[in-house]
């Protein structure tokens, strides 16, 4: 009797373990993209990796995507100027008003992809290039009205969602954690079940000074880096200033010594 009970308990544990494993295996990766409309590297990630991933039968059901168009904004100024702020709002309105996109941001991706590919920094081209059933936008005026009446509020909402400590865009998070591996090769990352590549090195060491913007295919949060750089330069000036004072004092003492002789 005890043997049967133990065997039954063992089978029950195995079944529970198998169900838990299956649930974990089938759990979708929660991917978020924090980006800005005119960063060329955000465009590359969206057009070459993200949109294809949402259309790839092998991986499209393995993840969800949240799009946050805001990026490196400081003092209300977008990194690439007023047109970028405007297009951020256009894309935010697309996310809100394209049918179903507010719950499933992937549905707004054809529209966003079109803007990224075709506007070339022109804030008006989307009305001609990116309206139609294939983009989920049948009437450009719906989006234009949203930008005029709700754009600022949507822009502010996206700003609140954007991590304050992001160092660059595209900034990709998976289940709430930033991932350079997902940014580098999204499909490979998803197929791995969301595992970071062994020995993968990200960007932190490159950000201590101000590198070229395209050194790692990102748009750096340069406003923040400028502030940091200014502080470092002030510290350097203070340090060199102290050295100069000490040198002047030593020179004065040497002169005084010579005069006494």
Domain assignments of the chain as residue spans, ordered by start: 28-197, 221-260
CB under 8 Å to 81, separation ≥6 — which residues? 38
For domain 28-197, the CATH superfamily is Glutaredoxin (3.40.30.10)
What phi, psi does 202 have (nearest 5°)?
Answer: -95, -145
100-120 pLDDT per residue, tens: 999 999 999 999 999 999 988
145: its two tokens: 């009205």
188-220 pLDDT per residue, tens: 999 999 987 544 445 443 343 334 444 479 999
pTM of the model: 0.74
Query: What pLDDT, on a 0 to 100 scale, did the predictor assign at position 28?
Result: 97
Query: What pLDDT, on a 0 to 100 scale, did the predictor assign at position 42?
Result: 98
- Tell me the three state secondary structure of residue 66: strand
Query: What pLDDT, on a 0 to 100 scale, did the predictor assign at position 64?
Result: 98
Those residues of the chain that have pLDDT short of 50 are: 18-23, 198-201, 203-215, 225-233, 236, 240, 247, 249, 252, 255-261
**Beta carbons of 115 and 87 less than 8 angstroms apart:** yes
Rounded CA Rg of the chain: 27
């Amino acid at each position: 009797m005890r043997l049967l009970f133990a065997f039954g308990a063992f089978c029950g544990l195995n079944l529970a373990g198998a169900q838990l494993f299956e649930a974990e295996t089938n759990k979708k990766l929660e991917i978020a993209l924090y980006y800005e409309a005119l960063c060329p590297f955000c465009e590359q990630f969206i057009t070459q990796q993200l949109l294809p991933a949402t259309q790839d039968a092998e991986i499209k059901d393995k993840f969800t995507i949240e799009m946050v168009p805001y990026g490196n904004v400081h003092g209300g100024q977008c990194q690439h100027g007023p047109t970028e702020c405007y297009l951020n709002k256009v894309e935010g309105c697309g996310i809100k008003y394209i049918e179903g996109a507010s719950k499933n941001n992937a549905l707004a991706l054809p529209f966003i992809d079109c803007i990224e590919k075709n506007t070339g920094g022109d804030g008006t081209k989307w009305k001609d290039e990116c309206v139609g059933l294939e983009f989920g936008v049948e009437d450009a005026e719906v989006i234009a009205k949203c930008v005029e009446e709700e754009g600022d509020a949507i822009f502010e909402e996206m700003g609140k969602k954007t991590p304050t400590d992001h160092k660059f865009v595209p900034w990709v998070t998976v289940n709430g954690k930033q991932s350079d591996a997902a940014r580098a090769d999204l499909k490979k990352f998803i197929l791995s079940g969301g595992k970071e590549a062994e020995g993968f090195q990200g960007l932190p060491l490159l950000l201590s000074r101000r590198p070229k913007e395209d050194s790692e295919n990102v748009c750096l949060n340069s406003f923040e880096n400028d502030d940091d750089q200014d502080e470092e330069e002030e510290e350097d000036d203070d340090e060199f200033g102290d050295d100069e004072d000490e040198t002047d004092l030593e020179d004065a003492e040497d002169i005084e010594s010579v005069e006494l002789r």
